Structure 1
Amino acid sequence: MADNIARVFADAIATNPTRPLLTWYDDATGERTELSGATLANWVAKTANLLVDELALSPGDAAGVSLPPHWQTAGVLLGCWSAGLTVTDVPGDVDVLFAAAARVAEADAWSAGDRYVLALDPFALPMRQVPAGFADYVSEVRAHGDHFTPYASGGEELVARARRRADELGIAPGDRVLVDVARHPDPIDWLLAPLTAGATIVLCANLDPARLTARAATEKATHTLT
């Protein structure tokens, strides 16, 4: 397989699939969610299978992603890239759209064949009321298989960008990187740069500066992006 995003992700979890790969904090809600590599891989595979098996999308098709940094966003992005889709956050014509519930009102700017809404619930619970014109991502994705064979190409340019960005940010192999997503909202920074460098990730939304030192110690962070 080429040096693409699917290979980078596979390499990130190969050594120890059970270790924490992505830990999510939201200081506004008190949420903490920890995902092992195996657990995140499960969400990625289910997402890719949804795209390929249910929507019959093919490499080169376009996915719109109107989502903030979040652990579920990581699953969506990696699933799209595993399926060979191009991903954009710029409104326009796409084959499928993934939108946060808080951004549904902005969805009219997109033209999409299929639309999925994400509540970004702390426990990944299904939505009680799904907006008209959307399907609930959590409900739909769980029906799909836990394994997916990624396409052999796609995302090579993104990997190259992520490697350059990891160097710029000083991320080293084996690091545990604590990221303030308000300051680093680009998935190149909060997701791909750490993965390409062989690092694990602690994502923090609405980061309370008073908690930073204790959190870095608790999570054994070796590098901070704040």
Structure 2
Amino acid sequence: MALLFFGYVGYGVLYQRLARSSKPDYIVTLGTGLIRERVPPLLAGRIDGALDLYRRERAAGRRPLLVMSGGKGSDELVAEAVAMARYALDRGIPAEDLLLEDQSATTEQNLRLTTDVVLADPRLGPGARGVAVTSNYHAMRAALLASEIGVPVQVVGTRTADYFWPSAMLREFVAVMKGFWRMQVLVFCLVTLPLPLFLAWAMMR
């Protein structure tokens, strides 16, 4: 289990380095909870990461669109996407470069419903390439989900407070183990079975 965990973390770091080389047509920020209608630091970090990527693309002569993705929770006054868009507008992002997906309640819905928004926009359409921005501990699971449901996005992570990262990463690892248990059982068997099989063979000689 420890080997699987460190492999998961290591591949997540490697994957994000590869994802950052992408030249996206759109950049989607995956929402997380609001404090009533205020963007909390964790979500602000995700939005800031998306805005940094957007500005780098603009500086390189490209103009990706920004998609803010997140619905309205029972304890929230507005949809997360609305609060996220306000945050971006306050930081000088043109309104015409913003798209909202305001119905999702899970990461899978973030990805699926954002795809619907992208397909409906004449500036993007079926061939558009995307990058999803989330917290670094969440990036690998989001990437696995995107691959599983066939959403063509790369996923990059933004920095999370050091004190929060270990527990959050462990939760994400457990969620991946539960959601992709067949793959994990296969890897676990490949890692653990050779030694006892070899010992059994040696004892039978």
Alignment TM-score, normalising by the size of structure 2:
0.32
Larger radius of gyration between Structure 1 and Structure 2 = 2
TM-score (ref. length: structure 1): 0.30
Hey, which of these two has a bigger chunk of strand by percent?
1
